[in-house]
Amino acid sequence: MYNIVEKTDPDGRQRDGLTVPSAEPSQDTQGDLRRRIEFLERPALAKAAPGVALSLGIAEIDGALPGGGLAPASVHEVCGASSLTPALGFSAALLGRAAGRTGTVLWCRRSGELYAPGLTAFGLRPDNLIVVQAKSDKDILWTMEEGLRSGALSAVLGEPGTISPIALRRLQLAAETGGTMGLLLGLEKHQTVSASAMTRWRVETAESRHPLGPWPGVSSWQVDLMRCRNGARGSWCVEWRDGYANDNPQTGGQDSDSKAGHFALVEPLRHGPHQTPRSHAGGADFELTRLAV
Amino acid sequence: MQAGQISNSPALLSEPLVTVRAERGGWTLAALNDAAAVAGLRPGLPLADARALCLGLKSVEADPAGDRRVLEALTDSCRRYTPWAANDPGVDGIWLDISGCGHLFGGEDILLTDLTTYLQRLGYAYRLGVADTPGAAWAVARFGGEAVSVIPSGAQASILAPLPAAALRLSRTIVEGLHRMGLRRIEDIIGIPRAPLAARFGSILLERLDQALGTRPETITPRRPVPEFRARLAFAEPISHRNGIDAVLDRLLKTLCKQLADAHLGARLVTLEGYRTDGTIAEVSAGTGRPVHDPVHLARLFREKLETFDPGFGIDVAVLGAVRTDTLPPVQAALEKNESQTGCDDGERLDYLLDRLGNRLGPQRVIRLASQARHVPEKAAKAVSALLGSPPDGTDEGGPRARRPLRLLPSPEPIQVMAPVPDRPPVLFRWRRRPHRVARADGPERIAPEWWLEDADALFSGETEARDYYRIEDEAGARFWVYREGLYRPDRAPRWYLHGFFA
C-alpha cells in the first residue's frame, strides 16, 4: 500500500513522492490522514491558526465531536423539535461558553424577547453580548456574515426563519475567513438539510429534577446530535447547572467557582422520582408533603 | 459678501403673467414677469385694474410657502460655493459668505462667473452684489442697476452714496419719513448729525447705515450648521457613475481625515453632500461609535450607504463635512503589523463592526441588554445602544437573586388557571387555547409594586398590585413563569398571567 504525501509533512520533514508507510497504521498516521483530508476539503480552515474547539465540558459529548468540541470557524445548527425555547436555552449556554471571560458574542434575532436577568444565568452579560434586532431574515443573514467575517467576535448566533443551502454555504465561508463560530437556531421543520453545517443538534425539553422535592430544577434538555462531520451521532440528557447555588445545595460548592454555570450529563428521566403534586384540594396535605421532604 | 436677488419664475414666458394674492377683499398682483412689467403693471395693483390695462393677462395664485421652499432649496444648493449660506429673512434673497472661498475657484471673479452660469442654467433671473459688508452687497444687488455689481474692498461709502435711502434695508415708514425731510440718498444721510436722526427714526437707521459702511459688525446665521472640517471637490463634468463616486469619496476622505488627524480629532458623524446639476442635493451620512479618522473605515461605512445616494443627472460638486467630532489623540503606530491586514486590535475591530451594523440597520437595533436594580420584572431589563462607547458594567449587583426566565413576553398574556386557593400554584392552566397540566411548581415569589417610584394614586386605587410569581413545569417539561395579580380575595376571581419562559 502506498501513500501520497504532500511536500511538507506536519512534522516539518521534507519528503517527496511516494513513501512506504510503516507496517501498522498507528494513531499518528490516522490523525495525519485526517488532517490531510481536512486540508483538501477546507484549505482556508487548515491554513488558519488551529483554534480551540469549544468544549461542552462533558467528556461523553466532547468525545463524540472531532477535536473534542464544537469546531471553531464553522457553522453549527441547533434546532428545536416542537418549541424553540429549549433550543434557545441550549444555544444560549453554548454562546455563553464561547464568550468565556473576555470574548464578545453576537445574537441576531427578529423579536426582542430576550430577558437580560435570565441571560446572566448562561454567562451572557451586557458587556459580552451584543444583540441585533433585525427587521428581516435578509438583515439577519447579512449581520451574521459580517460578524463571522470580522473576526472580532467569539461566536455569532442567528435565528433566520429559513435558510437556503447557498446562504448557509456563504455563512460557512465567512466563518472560515474570520475564524469565528456560527450558530444557526431555528425550528426543525424550517431548517434545510444541508451538508454545509459542521454539526446539527436537535434540542427538546426534558423533565427537570430538583434534589429536594417536587419543584422545577435547573434547565434540562434532551440533546440529539443528529449529524456531525467526522464524528458520531449521539443522544444525551444534559442539564445546565447555573449559578443559583441556593437552588441546588448539593452542587453549590462546585458552582461557586464558575458563576456562569456549566453543563452536566444526567440520566434520562422518563418518570420523575417525585410524584407530581396532582391534587391539593386542601392545603394541609400539601404542607405535610413539603415537611416530609 | 454677496447677496443675490432672484425671481422664481423663469423668464421663459413671453406673455404677461402675474401671480395674485387675496388682499383686502380682492385679488391684487403679487409678482409679475417682464412682459407684464412692460405692459405697465406693478405689484400691488388690483387684478381687475390690471386686466383693464392688459388684455389677455394670465394670472395664477401666489404660493408664498412654495416660494419659500424653492428659495431654501436654492440656498442649500448654493452651499456648493460656501458652507455659510443663509436666507435673507423676509425678502427673496440669499446671503453667501464667500470670504476665503475665492481661491478654491481661482479668484472671486471666476467664482462669480461660475455662479451666474449656474443660476442661468437653472433658469433663474438674478442680481448679484459683492461687497465687504452684507448691507452694501444687499444695496448694490437691488439698486446697483447691473446684474452683477462688485464693490471693491473698502469703497462701499463712495459707491453707496448715490443710492436711494431704501437701499439701507429700512422699513417703508422710515423711508417715507426720510423723504419728507428731503433725505433721498444715502449721501444725504451720511452728511447730517447722527443724534437727531436717532432721536427721530430710532437706532435702526444708524445701525443699518453703519452695517452697510462696515463700521458696525453684522453676523449672518447660516441656514444649516457649518461643519468645522470639510473637504470639497468640483468636477469639470458631472459624475453619476458609482465608480466615480467611490473614487471621489476616497479622495475627500483622505483630505478630511488628514485635517482631522492634524487637529487630533476624530469624526463621529460625517456627511457627504453631492450637488446635483439640477440644483438639488444628494446627501448621505455615516456615524461612528467612537471618533475615527481612518479613511479606510469611513469609506467602508459609506460603501453600504451609497446605495441610497442618488446622483440624479450627475453631481458636479461634492462636499464631505465632519459634522460632529471628538478628540482623538494620536497613538504610536505599532512597529509590527498584526496578522490581519488592517493591523488593529480586537476591540477596534469590534467597534468597526458595530459601526457597520449600526449604519446599515440603525443604531437603535444594535443593542446590549442590561439589567437594572428594579423589582418589577419588565423594568429590570433595558436595552442600551451598543454604539455608545463603553459597555455597561457586567456585574449584576442589583439583579434578582432568584432565577429569571430566558424569554420574557413583551406584555403578560392572560391564562385560565385552575389553582387551589388562596395561594397554591396552578394545577392546570390554559394558554392560547392549549391546556398544560402542571407537573412541578415553585413559588410564590411575591413582587410588590415599587411604591417609592410609582404614582401613589395608582397604588392606592389598586391599579398596580403585588404579583405572586410561580415557576412551573408542565408534564412535557416546558417551563413557564406565571403570576397571579393581586392578593387572593374571596369576592373576586383571581387573574393569572403568563409572563415568561425558562429554557
- Please enumerate in sequence order all residues whose Cβ is within 8 A of that of A257, keeping only pairs 6 or more positions apart, or say none: none
Distance CA B159, CA A277 (A): 102
pLDDT of residue B9: 47
Cell readout for B443 is: 413559588
Residue B400: pLDDT band (50, 70, 90) is: low
Contacts of A88 in chain B (CB under 8 A): 406-407, 503
Of B366, B402, B407, the CB nearest to A114: B407
Alpha helices, DSSP H, located in B108-241 = 108-122, 134-143, 156-160, 172-180, 186-191, 194-201, 203-213
**Residue B481: closest CA among chain A residues belongs to which residue?**
A216
Show me where the domains of chain B are located. Answer: 1-16+57-226, 229-357, 366-401, 407-502
| Contact (CB<8Å) A281/B420 | yes
Chain B hits for A274, Cβ within 8 Å: 440
Q: Quick check: A85 contacting B, CB < 8 Å?
A: yes
List of chain B residues whose C-beta atoms are within 8 Å of the C-beta of residue A135: 361, 365
Handedness of CA B327, B333, B338, B342 (dihedral sign): positive
pLDDT digits (tens, 9 = 90+) for B172-196: 888 898 889 888 888 888 888 888 8
pLDDT for res A21: 47
Q: What angle (nearest 5°) sits at the alpha carbon of residue B264, between those of residues B263 and B265?
A: 90
Cell 509590527, located at residue: B336
Give the model confidence (pLDDT) of B266-303 as tens digits. Answer: 998 999 999 998 888 889 998 888 888 889 889 988 98
Output the nine-digit C-alpha cell for A208. Answer: 427537570
The model scores a pTM over 0.80: no
pLDDT at A269 (0 to 100): 62
In chain B, residues with a C-beta closer than 8 Å to the C-beta of A280 are 420, 424, 427
* Cα(B3)–Cα(B95) distance, integer angstroms: 5
Per-residue model confidence (pLDDT) at position A246: 47
When scoring A85, A222, A286 by the number of chain B Cβ atoms within 10 A, the one with the most, hence best to mutate, is A85
pLDDT bracket for residue A2 (50, 70, 90)? very low
Reduce the secondary structure of B471-503 to three states and give it as a string: EEEECCCCEEEEEEECCCCCCCCCEEEEEEEEC
Chain A residue numbers with beta carbons less than 8 Å from the beta carbon of B478 are 83, 85, 205
Interface residue A89 vs chain B (CB under 8 A): yes
Instruction: List CB contacts (< 8 A) between A240 and chain B.
Output: 503
Cell (9 digits) for B375: 423589582
What pLDDT digit, counting tens, does each position of A40-62 carry?
Answer: 766 555 444 456 788 888 888 88
Check residue A291 and give its pLDDT.
Answer: 36
Q: Residue B61: beta bridge partners? A: B20
Please name which of A151, A112, A117 lies closest in space to residue A133, comparing C-alpha atoms.
Answer: A112
Q: What is the mean pLDDT of chain B?
A: 84
Query: Is the separation of the CB atoms in B488 and A75 below 8 Å?
Result: no
Percent of chain A with pLDDT over 90: 26
What per-residue string of b and e applies to B434-447 under the rule 16 or more CB within 10 Å gives b?
eebebbbbbbbeeb
- Return the closest-CA partner of residue A276 out of A205, A209, A204, A206: A209
CA distance B361 to A110: 12
Whether residue B496 is predicted with pLDDT greater than 50 in this model: the reply is yes
Do residue A116 and residue B371 have CB atoms under 8 angstroms apart? yes
More confident residue, A246 or B389: B389
Predicted pLDDT at A12:
42
Distance from CA of A117 to the nearest CA of B (A): 6
- The tens digit of pLDDT for each residue in A249-282 reads 444 444 444 456 888 888 876 544 444 444 333 3
pLDDT tens for each residue of A20-42: 444 455 667 888 887 777 777 66
Residue A223 near residue A117, CB atoms below 8 Å: no
The pLDDT tens digits for B20-71 are: 888 878 888 888 887 888 888 888 888 888 888 888 888 888 888 888 888 8
Res A259: pLDDT: 57
Beta carbons of A125 and B442 less than 8 Å apart: no
d(Cα B191, Cα B183) in Å, to the nearest integer?
A: 10
Architecture of domain B229-357: 2-Layer Sandwich (3.30)
Q: What is the mean pLDDT of residues A206-210?
A: 86
Mutation target among A110, A125, A263, A288 for the B interface, most CBs of B within 10 A? A125
CB contact under 8 A, B391 and A126: yes
**Which domains does chain A carry?**
59-266 (3.40.50.300)
At A221 the pLDDT is 92
Residue A243: name the closest of A233, A229, A254, A232 by CA: A254
Q: Select the residue of A147, A276, A281 nearest B353 (Cβ to Cβ).
A: A147
ipTM here: 0.76
Distances (CA, A) of B279 to B11, B57, B102, B119, B315: 18, 31, 21, 9, 9
